[in-house]
Amino acid sequence: MTSQHSDIVVIGAGPAGLHAAFYAAWRGLRVRVLEARSELGGQLSALYPDKRVYDVPGLPGARGAEVVAHLRRQLDGLDVDVRINTVARTLTSDGTGWKIGTDREVFTAGAVILAAGLGALLSRAPRIPGADSHPDVRTDLPDFEELSGRRVLIVGGVPQAARAALRLMEAGARVTLTHSRAGFRGDPGSLAQLEEARTAGRLEVLAPARLIALTPQGAELEVEGERRDLQVETVLSLGGYLPDLSPIQSWPLDWHGEYVPDGPGGSTVLEGVYVAGDLAGSGGDFKLISVGLAQAAVAANHAAHHVRPELKIRPGHSSDRRPPGGADEP
């Protein structure tokens, strides 16, 4: 999809947004998903990719990242354009549908599905002395290939830090990973690979270590009581994410605190704007993946009917249909 227009824009690529995108595209609509982060999966990939989840239907005990991978795979072959690193900031009516403004572009759509969860999961700003002096300090996962051949210092003990170290190493970067504590968080597979790579000398791990300051050329650290000066071209400070609803909280949605009230079919007070997942008021205390998936299915099918009235609201059974663009299972 190259045009700025799609049938539906979904805001947020957490479980609710990904499932809403699936359902709307499955109904034959062109869907665009806007996601503030550089990864899909919402809270599951930002906050607990390594934890096991026991109450997602059909995936007992899957890790957060695995649940996301399954939701992502369900979009294969469908007309879904996912824009990462894209924060939705404005929503205005264009007479027949909606205009959604981001920092770089304006998209239009016949309907909008809000699946923004707790808010845009934005990276915490690095609190490292001298951070302003280094020319390339980043706070979110990079394009790994772009950093091939570069010397990269990764700071942090969150699961993203261990995974980024491995991905960058594989992409050909020279990686040092440092953390104030000895241990790193992450799924057991990634942590085993990290240890293997460290033992083989394919990347350097300095932990526990004290990051004294960043300098224009790199970083000063204290490791086992000794001072180390590192020359690095890129610093990746991965300190977790904080949810921020402020980009959308000025939108006239009859907000109830951090919730958007949802009426029948996931409708909101704005015609053609629907809500699903943690953001939807009806979920209340049930901030759960399974609840968000159900709300997403309902909202997406109502949104599909809104955009194309000739489509029934009721989707019928997927088991009676061939996957769009795909072949039947033997």
Ligand X SMILES: Cc1cc2nc3c(=O)[nH]c(=O)nc-3n(C[C@H](O)[C@H](O)[C@H](O)COP(=O)(O)OP(=O)(O)OC[C@H]3O[C@@H](n4cnc5c(N)ncnc54)[C@H](O)[C@@H]3O)c2cc1C
Q: Which residues bind ligand X (CB under 6 A)?
A: 11-17, 34-37, 42-44, 47-48, 53, 55, 87-88, 115-121, 247-248, 277-278, 287-290, 292
Write the single-letter amino acid at 209: A
Distance of closest approach, residue 302 Cβ to ligand X, in angstroms: 17
- Residue spans of beta strands (DSSP E) within 143-233: 151-155, 174-178, 204-206, 209-214, 218-223, 226-231
Q: Is 50 annotated as a binding residue?
A: no
Question: Dihedral, CA atoms, 262, 264, 270, 271, nearest 10 degrees?
Answer: 160
Residues β-bridged to residue 174: 151
CA distance 94 to 70: 35
The residue among 139 and 193 lying less far from ligand X, judged by its C-beta, is 139
88 is in an annotated binding site: yes
Closest distance of CB 56 from ligand X, Å: 6
Q: Closest separation between CB of residue 48 and ligand X, Å?
A: 4
CB of 93 or CB of 290, closer to ligand X: 290
Least CB distance to ligand X at residue 263 (A)? 18
Nearer to ligand X, 3 or 90 (CB): 90
User: Would you call the peptide bond into 208 cis, given omega within 30 degrees of 0 as the criterion?
Assistant: yes
In angstroms, what is the minimal distance from the CB of 51 to ligand X? 6
d(CA 268, CA 261): 6
- Asked if residue 121 belongs to a known ligand binding site, the reply is yes
Q: Write out the H or E segment, with its range, that includes residue 84.
A: none
Query: Is 117 or 239 the residue whose CB approaches ligand X more closely?
Result: 117
Tell whether residue 43 is among the known ligand binding residues: yes
Q: 184 or 251: whose CB is closer to ligand X?
A: 251
Whether residue 35 is annotated as binding a ligand: the answer is yes
Q: Are strands 234-237 and 151-155 parallel, antiparallel or unpaired?
A: parallel
For 160, the enclosing helix (H) or strand (E) is helix 159-170
Annotated binding site for FAD: 35, 43, 48, 88, 121, 278, 319
